[in-house]
């Protein structure tokens, strides 16, 4: 005897849309964090960056590693 699941067909689709929205939201949050970090470090003078041990040419790399980690 065959049985049918009580779960509506659209339930799986709803989960996929929710997961896609969460993923997109997370990517947007990380992107904002990266841009904010670059903006804040770029606002520092050369002397302030030197005090932190940062060269101006490495700001984007530092912001990327800070936001996304080093294993990306």
Per-residue model confidence as pLDDT tens digits over 7-62? 555 667 888 889 999 999 999 999 999 999 999 999 999 999 999 999 999 999 99
CA distance 59 to 1: 66
Interior/surface letters 13-34, b for 16+ CB within 10 angstroms, e for the rest: eeeeeeeeeeeeeeeeeeeeeb
Q: Considering only residues 70 and 57, tell me which one the structure prediction assigns the higher pLDDT.
A: 57
Tokens of 23: 């993923």
Looking at residue 4, what is its pLDDT?
58
CA distance 65 to 68: 5
Looking at residue 12, what is its pLDDT?
78
Domain borders along the chain are: 26-72
């Amino acid at each position: 005897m065959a049985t049918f699941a009580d779960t509506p067909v659209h339930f799986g689709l709803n989960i996929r849309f929710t997961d896609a929205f969460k993923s997109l939201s997370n990517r947007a949050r990380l992107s904002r964090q990266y841009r904010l970090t670059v903006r804040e470090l770029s606002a520092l003078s050369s002397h302030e960056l030197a005090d932190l041990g940062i060269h101006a040419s490495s700001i984007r790399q530092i912001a990327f590693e800070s936001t996304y980690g080093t294993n990306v």
